[in-house]
Structure 1
């Protein structure tokens, strides 16, 4: 197997977040709208100061999985 072929076998195609989900998703803590951070692949709750990760295009809307951010 060549090195390039091995890299392709290991790497997964990146799934993109469907922005239309922003119309229905809210912060589970505050019930406020979320903001999409494309660079970090996170959904941001400004009021709760939490960033919910997006993994393989799927938002992980668990408070325990969220990262605390500065307001």
Structure 2
């Protein structure tokens, strides 16, 4: 099953509340919210960061579709 932007957003809900996050922190946040391996692998393709918003991820993940 493909990974979508809304699915990533669901698993990173609240992850940016305490400031910018690095790739490893985003992966850890997604793991805590029960993300499947495909989501974790997609996040693993990000550069180290830091990322201050969810929107800042998309320029590094252009292949991830906006919806199903």
Which structure ranks higher in relative contact order (CA pairs < 8 Å, sequence separation ≥ 6)? 2
Q: Which has the higher strand share?
A: 1
TM-score tier by shorter-chain length is under 0.3
TM-score under structure 1 normalisation? 0.25
TM-score under structure 2 normalisation? 0.26
